[in-house]
Amino acid sequence: MYKDRWNNSEFLIELSQIQFNPEDFLRFVDRYEFKHYINAYGKSTPQEVCYNRSLLVQPIVQHYLDVFKDFDIRLGQSDHPGGTGLNGWQLIRSDMTENGLARHIDAKRPACITFPLTFPQSINFHESKDSDILYTYEYKPVIIILNSGSKWHSVSQTAEPRLQFQFDCYNSWEEIKELTENLSLI
């Protein structure tokens, strides 16, 4: 019954048309230091981020900045009083061994262009703040855009390591749908 209410394209868009090999990121991840991520409400999360500027000169990051050049990706620290803040680009690593990520919508970014780097990893979607899991999406080696600013999501507790590269994206979901259609023409 839940399945009928799961409208995939309102929650996420898989960009299978764009080539992506997680190895291209994994080969340099170990060189970077991460810092604990505090959310916009000043709460600790089981996540660590790396905002190092030298990530931006990695050829693979440059490549994807070009692929997504028509998207509203804002590079540089954004205001996030009480928390770590957003950055525009990041490596993000999680240790969900003790705690998952509570359901939330992203406070400061409408969408997230997500490059999953470790597998298995998954994300849960909820219809509302109080609803159970509507759907659990299992990541594949495919770039996705997440409607993270409008759709409630969470991550279940897991012993699996979890690593992603992300761009923060400030387009509306309607704009993103249009922009991704144009991407398929590349």
Q: Interface residues with Fe ion (CB under 5 A)?
A: 106, 148
Helices (H), ranges, the chain = 2-5, 8-11, 23-29, 59-67, 173-183
Residue nearest to Fe ion (CB): 106
How near is the Cβ of 170 to Fe ion at its closest, in Å? Answer: 15
* Closer residue to Fe ion, CB minimum distance, 24 or 106: 106
Alpha helices in 2-131 (DSSP H): 2-5, 8-11, 23-29, 59-67
Distance CA 185, CA 49 (A): 33
Residue whose CB is less far from Fe ion, 24 or 162: 162
Question: In terms of CB distance, is 104 or 140 closer to Fe ion?
Answer: 104
Smallest distance, Å, CB 157 to Fe ion?
A: 16
Shortest Cβ 146–Fe ion spacing (Å) = 8
Torsion, CA 175, CA 180, CA 181, CA 185, rounded to 10: 140
CA-closest candidate to residue 88, choices 73, 72, 101, 100: 73
User: Which of residues 106 and 168 has its CB atom nearest to Fe ion in the complex?
Assistant: 106
Least CB distance to Fe ion at residue 176 (A): 16
Q: What angle do CA 66, 7, 174 make, to 5 degrees?
A: 45
